[in-house]
């Protein structure tokens, strides 16, 4: 499938995941994420795509009783982010996340973007100002908010709030950014903005995006993985998945016979 020269940024190896009630939500998933590419996860509700995404930044650690099995290895340092000896906080500093619904803090626009830096102990105002500006520019929000950085984030529109959340995730220079259905709460125009932004961000980092919307996967992603009932059914170039899928299940899903 992928071009042999494309470097791998991270790689799931035989990943299983169990919720605290014992349910096995992921079944032996192995797949690479290619560097500076967008990988989309598609599949019907409950197929485990969000669960898979949330393994990458150890979000499941926040709730007791959840269990990982297998590895997610980051390159080039070969760190297994699921290793019990690796602090989830360290992982989240390298892999940031944008959520389904825009979830800005009830703080100013500036403070929202700066929070990731503050958490790291950054106090220098000059550095902070620069990073905030850079992140807001990176999230294509700077021109709209530069004159009101100290307004409350809640005063922004939904699409602006989501771009603010992207800026917040961007401010700390992560290597990978996870998007969990980032446009499902947005109108079509805001959605188009976010999609355009994701494509732009690709040059800076590696992106993994869960989407409920197949057209979105087709529009933005380089690679697409189709998941069903916790299993990875097919993973390939997005073009191939949508034109000549090799598995019958994938074809049924993308042609709308199922799901």
Asked whether the beta carbons of 229 and 23 are under 8 A apart, the reply is no
Show the binding pattern over residues 156-175: x = contacts other proteins (CB under 8 A), - = does not. Answer: ---------x--xx--x---
CA-wise closest residue to 119 among 99, 140, 96, 101? 96
Site for other proteins in 205-234 (CB under 8 A): none
3-state secondary structure of 85: coil
Q: Nearest distance from residue 121's CB to other proteins, in Å?
A: 10
Of residues 58 through 87, those in contact with other proteins by CB under 8 A are: 59, 62, 64
Q: Binding to other proteins by residue 41, rule CB under 8 A?
A: no
CA distances (Å), origin 253, targets 79, 128, 236, 249: 35, 46, 15, 6
> Judged by CB under 8 A, which of 16, 71, 80, 103 binds other proteins?
103
258 touches other proteins (CB under 8 A): no
* Interaction between residue 57 and other proteins (CB under 8 A): yes
Query: Closest CB to other proteins among 171 and 218?
Result: 171
The piece of 31-39, 103-111, 122-130, 249-257 that touches other proteins (CB under 8 A) is 103-111
Distances (CA, A) of 133 to 104, 148, 153, 191: 17, 12, 15, 23
Regarding 97 and contact with other proteins (CB under 8 A), the answer is: yes
Q: Roughly how many angstroms between the first and final C-alpha of the chain, as a whole number?
A: 26
Q: Is residue 123 a contact point for other proteins (CB under 8 A)? A: no
Rounded-to-integer distance, Cα 213 and Cα 229, Å: 18
Q: Which helix (H) or strand (E) holds 92?
A: helix 88-94
**Applying CB under 8 A, does 152 fall inside the site for other proteins?**
yes
For the CB of residue 137, give the shortest distance to other proteins in the complex, in Å: 19
Among 8, 93, 128, 192, binds other proteins (CB under 8 A): 93
Closest C-alpha among 162, 167, 179 to residue 110:
167
Select from 22, 76, 85, 106 the one that contacts other proteins (CB under 8 A).
106
219: its two tokens: 């529009």
Minimum distance, C-beta of residue 113 to other proteins, in the bound complex (Å): 10
Tell whether residue 92 is a contact of other proteins (CB under 8 A).
yes
Q: How far apart are CA 143 and CA 160, in angstroms?
A: 11
76 prior amide bond cis, ω within 30: yes
Question: What is the 8-class DSSP label of residue 108?
Answer: B
**How many amino acids of this chain bind other proteins (CB under 8 A)?**
27
Q: Are 180 and 99 in contact (CB under 8 A)?
A: yes
Q: In this chain, which of 99, 122, 175, 237 binds other proteins, going by CB under 8 A? A: 99
Chain centroid to Cα 94, Å, comes to 12
Tell me which residues touch other proteins (CB under 8 A): 57, 59, 62, 64, 89-90, 92-93, 96-97, 99, 101, 103-106, 115-116, 118-120, 152, 154, 165, 168-169, 172
């Amino acid at each position: 499938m992928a071009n042999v020269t494309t470097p791998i940024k991270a790689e799931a190896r035989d990943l299983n995941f169990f919720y605290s009630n014992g349910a096995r939500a992921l079944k032996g998933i192995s797949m690479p994420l290619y560097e500076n590419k967008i990988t989309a996860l598609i599949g019907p509700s409950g197929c485990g795509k969000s669960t898979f995404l949330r393994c990458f930044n150890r979000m499941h650690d926040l709730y007791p009783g959840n269990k990982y099995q297998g590895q997610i290895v980051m390159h080039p340092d070969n760190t297994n982010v699921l290793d019990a000896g690796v602090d989830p906080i360290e992982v989240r500093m390298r892999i940031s996340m944008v959520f389904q619904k825009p979830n800005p803090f009830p703080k100013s626009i500036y403070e929202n973007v700066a929070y990731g830096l503050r958490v790291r102990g950054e106090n220098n105002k000059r550095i902070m100002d620069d990073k905030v500006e850079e992140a807001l520019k990176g999230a294509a929000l700077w021109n709209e908010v530069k004159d009101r950085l100290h307004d409350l984030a809640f005063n922004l529109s939904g699409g602006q709030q989501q771009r603010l959340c992207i800026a917040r995730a961007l401010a700390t220079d992560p290597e990978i950014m996870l998007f969990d259905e980032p446009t499902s709460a947005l109108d079509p125009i805001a959605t188009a903005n976010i999609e355009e932004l994701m494509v732009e961000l690709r040059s800076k980092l590696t992106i993994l995006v869960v989407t409920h919307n197949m057209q979105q996967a087709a529009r933005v992603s380089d690679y697409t993985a189709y998941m069903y009932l916790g299993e990875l059914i097919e993973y390939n170039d997005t073009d191939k998945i949508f034109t000549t899928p090799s598995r019958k299940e994938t074809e049924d899903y993308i042609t709308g016979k199922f799901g």
